[in-house]
């Protein structure tokens, strides 16, 4: 079984070798180690989580700004 440190190292190695994004690297490591992507949450380190969040913000997939209230009405405005 893989631990958090090994998981993070494998993801970082993929990120250094290829021009892939963080999510794809995480999925690749999950496939390599026969893990369900849903269970990868416990293996994601804080620095890896920060990279993933920054990537998601860059793609406008996560709203961490002033309007982060989570109301559905703000979605339609």
The answer to pTM > 0.85 is no
pLDDT at residue number 70? 52
Domain ranges of the chain: 4-58
What Cα–Cα distance (Å) separates residue 54 from each residue in 38, 72, 76? 20, 23, 24
Tens of pLDDT, residue by residue over 10-22, are: 999 999 999 899 9
> What are 23-64's pLDDT values in tens digits?
999 999 999 999 999 999 999 999 999 998 888 888 877 666
* 66 pLDDT higher than 70: no
Residue 73 is predicted with a pLDDT of 47
HEC assignment per residue over 6-73 = HHHHHHHHHHHHCCCCHHHHHHHHHHHCCCCHHHHHHHCCHHHHHHHHHHHHHCCCCCCCCCCCCCHH
């Amino acid at each position: 079984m893989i631990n958090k440190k090994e998981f993070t190292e494998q993801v970082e190695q993929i990120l250094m070798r290829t021009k892939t994004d963080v999510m794809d690297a995480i999925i690749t490591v999950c496939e390599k180690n026969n893990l369900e992507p849903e269970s990868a949450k416990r293996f994601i380190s804080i620095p890896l989580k920060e990279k993933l969040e920054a990537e998601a913000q860059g793609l406008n997939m996560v709203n961490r700004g002033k309007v982060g209230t989570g109301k559905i009405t703000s979605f339609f405005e």
